Amino acid sequence: MKPLLHKCLSVIAGFVLLCAALPMDYARADTAPEYTLKAAFIYNFATFTEWPGRNAETLDLCILGSSPFGDALKTIEGKLVGNARLVTRHVTISDSTLRNCQIVFVCASEKDKLPGIFDLARESGILTIADFQGAARQGVMIELAMEQKRITFEINLEAAKRARLNLSSKLLRLAKTVY
């Protein structure tokens, strides 16, 4: 089997196994901390997203606002997404380095700034993710939620298309709702 095909199949298998485990105890908040699970989901979202024309050594995941993650992001820091290493950092909306992010997790503390974030995402090809209610309906590309102690997610495909991002059909099939 060709190395690239083998690697792609390994990533897909990993994501399928993660999602297959979700209805069971793995996704229960009492078994694993909520934000450790959400960090794992974010990593998998990155592996199933294509940034056209991107070829860099790092993939920057930026946390915008008051982070609920604590140390949970350490579980995905440095992991490979394609050929790029995942790097996490905290940024502000006024931070000019926000344009250098490929993924922005919008914390609930920043939801009143969504219009500016959406403009930036469209211009710079940034995948936006949030976990506050109604985020996907407002234009965030992926909204994470806890339902009955399980992680679910909704996708705003139109927002992703406006930012020129390609979300895998495999990811779309696993979403609770696609707008």
pLDDT band at residue 46 under the 50/70/90 scheme: very high
Cβ atoms of residues 143 and 176 within 8 Å: no
- What does the alpha-carbon distance between residue 130 and residue 119 come to, in Å, rounded to a whole number? 16
Q: Taking residues 16-32, report their average pLDDT.
A: 42
Model's pTM, two decimal places?
0.83
Residue 11, pLDDT above cutoff 50: no
φ and ψ at residue 92, rounded to 5 degrees: -115, 160
Q: Which tens digits make up the pLDDT trace of 135-164?
A: 999 999 999 999 998 999 999 999 999 999
What is the total residue count of the chain? 179
- Name residue, tokens 């105890």: 25
- Enumerate the domain spans of the chain: 3-178
Q: Which tens digits make up the pLDDT trace of 96-139?
A: 778 899 999 999 999 999 998 999 899 999 999 999 999 999 99
Fold of 3-178: Rossmann fold (3.40.50)
- What does the alpha-carbon distance between residue 170 and residue 84 come to, in Å, rounded to a whole number? 21
